[in-house]
Amino acid sequence: IKLFSDGLYRHTRFGYFMRFLHWIGRKARHEPYRLLNAKSLDEQRKIFDEHIRPFFDNRLVTLLGKLPMSVFSLGIPPQQYKAMKNQGNLFQQYCERVERLACDFPVQDNYFAWQAFSHSYDHKNRRAIPAYLKEENYALIKQQLYKLDTQAGTLIDYLRAQPDNTLNRFVFLDAQDWMSDKVLTDLWQEVRRVGQPGSRIVFRTAADSSPLETALPHELREQFDYDPEASRTLFRQDRSAIYGGFHLYRLTEQ
């Protein structure tokens, strides 16, 4: 309980690593939190160039960026680390994603940027906070709680317990980055079974490519249509900016 009062996020592996990076920034006299006071995208760009981009020239940061340990601390699993390395300069990818987070979206309501650059939400103006934490949404959320069903178990086990052709929307977040080819195959076999024709499945990945293209057996992969244009559009709208890809698949007519 005490961890919640102190900020549970701060005690995660990712939280500790981000605090360490902020400590390096302060020692190097870089002040990324200044970005949160910007009034426009142009001002955000200026602050990024002055206080954040130079951070990536720090020798210690450059060294850390080359270590697999750093990638794992950011929540990127080994297989996606390899995929990102295959895309090119890994350290440059870090810089590009931070630049996107800092410069591509107004910081006034981007709570992802607030977490990255200050370890907190916008408690003063209460704009850069998730919708579910806003006071005006509390009553509505409370009214809708009866629709939630909490499960303790694996996603595959849950799907195996569902009847055929009963679901049509699947949101897998970034969980598939951590799955082996066999687990991915088991998961998508269940999606094919329980999914209705036209079902939509979305997820994000650390690298830009979808693991399904090489992980799934050909006959299973052929049961799903990939929408590259919609995937690129949705990726550009992803304000968290830390992922390399957003992917949308549809279950074909069976």
Question: Looking at residues 17-32, what average pLDDT do you find?
Answer: 71
pTM: 0.83
Question: What's the first-to-final CA gap in the chain, in angstroms?
Answer: 49
d(CA 115, CA 122): 9
pLDDT band at 58 (very low <50, low <70, confident <90, very high): confident
Q: Which domains occur in the chain, in start order?
A: 2-135 (no CATH), 149-251 (3.40.50.150)
- Band (pLDDT 50/70/90 cuts) for residue 237 is very high
CA atoms within 13 A on the CB side of 242: 12
Quick check: 65 pLDDT over 80? no
Residue 212: band (very low, low, confident or very high) from pLDDT cuts 50, 70, 90 = very high
Confidence of residue 70 (pLDDT cuts 50, 70, 90): low
**Cβ neighbours, 10 Å, residue 81:** 19
pLDDT tens profile 128-166: 999 999 999 999 999 999 999 888 999 999 999 999 999
